[in-house]
Structure 1
């Protein structure tokens, strides 16, 4: 006998984007394909999907008028948000003293924004200026509320990743870097931490993380008292799109030289992305150039002029929306590189592995749970350009090892990181708790 369908409302920053937003979107569309009622509430809507809706910003009349003047412009949401902020004295004051912005009253009526009361409310990233965290207690007492953490913002006084700082364990304050995203103007991190802790104590939350590394942080954090049940569910990618393919054919499709050694690195805004480590990539490529190796490094995710370091060329490719086009770059590459200063469970690493492309990455966050050292790729210390270069050169010099790692990467990804596996695990988690079972 088949299980009854579920009504699932997800919450995410944006509907069409990469990273965490892509995971929410893939779940949203997959649930619908499995005959569940699926909705997606977002801070900013970019698609035309009828089951996606924007959480209203509740602007005043002046900001409504300004927004209407720009309603056909790509900056409409940004303009409306800025005007609303400038005409809201309380919000301006909170911003100036470093309080995180929870002033989004429409969050409280979220469950009434869909045609039927959902069985599950599933929240993804809640930072980004669109969600009132103070609504979690009443929402979570009305329907089972799942939080999937894609970073550590819920655990700290302002930052999405704390790097080496561990003040998040004890209450923040004396923040070493207020500029880390989401940045704040003044050090109100202790107040922000306490406010979050009080919210969680009043809530009943079902917490999911994509890796054990992040769940261990949850267990040590002020979020823990509000957790009813938790589970590690690794993110997944669509194996019908991301899979091994003929390298020569992929290079021909992309207009890439068939006889080149091609390395790939993908990220949003590569050169200035504070989580990624473009400087270490450059230094590693400089080390590789010293050997006389001729290498083409594709930097996917930014528009910029090409760079050259000896016989090594760095060629930038703008962000691509079409996942099938993105997959062709993984399929065309000899190796995927992922130097990072901080990361949780990067989708780009999963996509590379699924395409049978060995990965050389920083051993940070949940990446060691993605890459099997010595079998599907290599892990190197954070910021160690020489180690990164040495591992790349090892694989370029040993074609047999590189091809074997590629086969093992695709096999491991098919077993552990498929989209359907992720969907099935989430549905099982929902069913275990949507009527209060296991509480």
Structure 2
């Protein structure tokens, strides 16, 4: 069985990493797995990407051109939007590769034009890494909910017109879903519910398959040794926070994280606690309620990330809306509990007051209580660490994810088509 995974990137961003991990897991399971990426960062020979000069230029300029229609809305939020309006021959390339299964992943930034999706000849599986496949163009709706009936007057575009760009995108997706049968994979129960509520996807087949990761790479490392390698203090409690661009993306909740820090002062003095932030520094506050802040920058390899998780006492992931963040899975696999808001896919990973803490959305004070609870609980023994690791082993091992996908692929190949 020849499996082709399609993704805008092979390594940059959480969705890309999840797709690439599945691809590598399929190869390890003896499958004929290929990946088609708009932008390639790995040296994996099984990942195809533009090689011609024109193709490489297009891979960089295409995302900029894709957003040109949004310039009609000068007051828009500069969040993550994709239009995917310009023909680029992607479907033709997929068909020439002649896979038995085409597995779409994050295909925004113009990677796969909406009109082209229905031209893919083989059965299609589409993992919904975010909400874009069923919205008018946003990757997360911020609680708007208009996608459930019909997008229009988009609040992210600051549009008051019913017939706006979001309406066009919503209708284009409706046509795409009607013209070809697909099978949806939702990594979280929240994503499955959100997709199921969409008028675009009524009667769609939706399977819930969580992301998987290599738990032999992401595993606990001795805390003292990890801190020594990373040059982090041995005599402080370490609170970890990060994302692909934690300060530049409001959805990641950095404002609420920093709002929570003053509430910690009654229990943990600055001499006792340090904030460590990974990812890009842009937009991050320089003030941490008096606590020292160390930034690591963007760590590019799994081993460094495993060390960082192991060095921390807990990680805070205060996302306002999120699917199944890799950073939570990775942290748990390393035995590091997580504090987050009880929203999105967080309850799939965090068992409240067992391997972490689920705070009331979006209560900075309760988030601080969760941080304090984890720090105090971890002083009394290793129960949280053990529970975090066991959760990852039990539910998010890569082998389990690979097997679930293979069972789905085999069923669709036998039937000769996907399902709606």
- 1:105 Cα deviation from its structure 2 partner: 3.1
- 1:273 Cα deviation from its structure 2 partner: 1.5
- Name 2:78's counterpart in structure 1: none
Residue 307 of structure 1 aligns to a residue in which SS? coil
Residue 8 of structure 1 aligns to a residue in which SS? strand
- Name 2:84's counterpart in structure 1: 101
- Name 2:352's counterpart in structure 1: 373
CA distance in 2, matches of 1:213, 1:263: 27
Identify which of structures 1 and 2 has the higher relative contact order when contacts are C-alpha pairs closer than 8 Å and 6+ apart: 2
Tell me which of 273, 279, 284 is aligned to 1:295: 273
- 1:266 Cα deviation from its structure 2 partner: 2.0
CA distance in 1, matches of 2:16, 2:311: 26
- Name 2:36's counterpart in structure 1: 41
> What are the Cα deviations for residues 73-115 of structure 1, in whole angstroms up to 9, with x where unaligned?
xxx55664489x4xxxxx898555579232133122133443x
- 1:298 Cα deviation from its structure 2 partner: 0.8
> What are the Cα deviations for residues 161-212 of structure 1, in whole angstroms up to 9, with x where unaligned?
11221111111111112279xxxxx932122211211110111101101111
- Name 2:118's counterpart in structure 1: 137
Contact 2:246 2:281 in 1 (8 A): no
Say yes or no: does 1:191 pair with 2:135.
Answer: no
- 1:120 Cα deviation from its structure 2 partner: 0.5
Tell me which of 316, 326, 345 is aligned to 1:337: 316
> TM-score, structure 2 length as denominator?
0.89
Tell me which of 226, 230, 235 is aligned to 1:250: 226
Determine which structure has more spread, i.e. the larger CA radius of gyration: 1
Distance of aligned partners of 1:401 and 1:129 in 2 relative to their CA distance in 1, 3 Å threshold: farther
> TM-score, structure 1 length as denominator?
0.85
Contact 2:357 2:374 in 1 (8 A): no
Report 1:14-25 matches (<5 A). 14-25=9-20
- 1:51 Cα deviation from its structure 2 partner: 2.1
- Name 2:76's counterpart in structure 1: none
- 1:157 Cα deviation from its structure 2 partner: 0.8
RMSD (CA atoms)? 2.7
CA distance in 1, matches of 2:63, 2:107: 19
Contact 2:50 2:59 in 1 (8 A): no
Report 1:414-425 matches (<5 A). 414-425=393-404
CA distance in 2, matches of 1:382, 1:231: 27
Contact 1:123 1:147 in 2 (8 A): yes
CA distance in 2, matches of 1:82, 1:120: 26
CA distance in 1, matches of 2:254, 2:106: 25
CA distance in 1, matches of 2:316, 2:152: 36
CA distance in 2, matches of 1:306, 1:158: 30
Q: Which moved more, 1:43-52 or 1:371-380?
A: 43-52
